[in-house]
Structure 1
């Protein structure tokens, strides 16, 4: 099994936090978004994953090494490909062409999910879906009475289905997928100005592939500050019984920690109330503060704060009584 992870977007809606690192490496409950994504996919695959291919922009060598390390931690080879231009989902996937062979899962690194099904690798394909209130912003599927997908529609302007494609797909025949993606590129077939994966799926279906859907219980976005903080809180709740969230190498003095919280190695918390739903990065110092529902990354200093629904980046300094903030890396407010 191979996992293909397109993640070349700059994450502009999450700025300033994505000015220094790509969005999929933003930590959620102490782990990068993309790490949690591939870990959850490995859990439902039901068979070993031998390669994880990441499609990135110009993110630098450090990011590439971090991604390879994530793959290796799951017993897989990490491969790096580059997408130079944002030309659509089909184009993004094809940037990893050499790795698209055999059993393949394609997962866009925009969201996290929770699911309790095991992937049926005998199926031609499985499309992860979730029912949504407003399907016009998503690709959606229609299904027949037997549960097989009959139509793939990209961002429908009129209602056809509320079963949205969340951006995770399984293909039994990666080579067939690759040939249909290449057909779109070779013939300049676009939808809404871009090369769309849904067009390739429609062609595969018309040539005999039978796709089913895998419905997820939770679909969590990390597109902007508010939903990323919300996702952090949900993940803390999901993993609090399975992961060690509070490091024994953190220093807690005259403070109350209201679980669930993630507190990393070297964190120092003094004279404060922290939690619930707070993630504190390595070597961050919090003093004389009350903080809930917030992400604070590494090597930052927060004092005299009363924060909720906030994000503070790496190596930031915050001194004040603001109630909701989003401060990027190396910023200072005092």
Structure 2
């Protein structure tokens, strides 16, 4: 089965909640635990040996294309979504690459830990997880393990099972038929063509979907969520070489080119290449390429590429090339 499967990864989102970082870097390329978000997704799918991986990118998605082609030997196809018309529209743009092959859809800003190789069979499913605030998510209602209804961000949810951003459809022709219908008939929810509306249409037509519980769902949609995801992934991605003038408290990821002097780093810190840290204490933070930190205490922070921090701040969310300095 796995050598027949095709995978669709919508990665065209603007990442508005992650600004200022997404001013210069597409959301799927934001670093977490030493690797871009989409890199962590690739690590989870590469052993499935998919026939094709179709990446839906925005007009400025060339950085994503470059990263994937330079780092992974999968058969990629890149499709541009010019205007953000919704997830349903994004997935529909992959239609030319399908006839009726099995289709696995994984959102490009979501990292999910689950045994995919055991789940790609002749059965449709949608990944779900119980949440405390289902109004924020698309949710499913189920009976005897089968999904009976899908509702996008309901005002009065009848279920707390949230859709987490991974979907498996055994016969992709049925999916694209439903997507074509909602687009041609201009069926929108909250002003966009929703994938959930197409899936609900399939269910109404008698196509069976099972709810597949996901144990670990790592959302990367906000700075706070990115830091939480970094914390989780570092528990299995701890990497650093000892520095003679630094105290390192694992788990951390520290690139070999980073310079750390007279500082305490960790736990739960990711440091990218060419970073310099001097006379500082850093914990629970993500420090991106080329950043410079001196005489500072940082906690629960994200520093963009080539940003500069000098003196005293405790919590920062700086985009690329930002400078924070106190006298």
What TM-score does the superposition give when structure 1 sets the normalisation length? 0.91
Deviation at 1:110, TM superposition (A): 2.3
State the superposition RMSD in angstroms: 1.7
| Counterpart among 248, 256, 261 of residue 265 in structure 1 | 256
Q: What is the aligned partner in structure 1 of residue 291 from structure 2?
A: 300
Kept after mapping to 1: 8 A contact 2:28/2:64: no
Deviation at 1:60, TM superposition (A): 4.8
Distance 2:201 2:123 in 1: 13
2:93 aligned with 1:89 = no
Give the 3-state SS of the residue equivalent to 1:252 in structure 2.
coil
Distance 1:239 1:319 in 2: 29
Unaligned 5+ runs, structure 2: none
Deviation at 1:208, TM superposition (A): 2.9
Q: What is the aligned partner in structure 1 of residue 161 from structure 2?
A: 163
What TM-score does the superposition give when structure 2 sets the normalisation length? 0.93
Distance 2:76 2:65 in 1: 9
Distance 1:37 1:22 in 2: 15
| Counterpart among 305, 308, 331 of residue 322 in structure 2 | 331
Q: What is the aligned partner in structure 1 of residue 300 from structure 2?
A: 309
Distance 1:105 1:277 in 2: 31
Residue range with higher mean Cα deviation, 16-25 or 251-260: 251-260
Unaligned 5+ runs, structure 1: none
Q: What is the aligned partner in structure 2 of residue 64 from structure 1?
A: 65
Distance 2:64 2:192 in 1: 27
Deviation at 1:51, TM superposition (A): 1.5
Kept after mapping to 2: 8 A contact 1:299/1:314: yes
Task: Write the mapping of 1:217-232 to structure 2, written as runs, cut at 5 A.
Answer: 217-232=215-230
Query: Deviations for 1:60-97, whole angstroms, at most 9, x for unmatched residues?
Result: 5333211333542xxx2111111111111111111222
Change (3 A) 1:14 1:152: same
Q: What is the aligned partner in structure 1 of residue 112 from structure 2?
A: 113
Distance 2:181 2:115 in 1: 35
Deviation at 1:31, TM superposition (A): 0.8
Kept after mapping to 2: 8 A contact 1:7/1:108: yes
Give the 3-state SS of the residue equivalent to 2:193 in structure 1.
coil
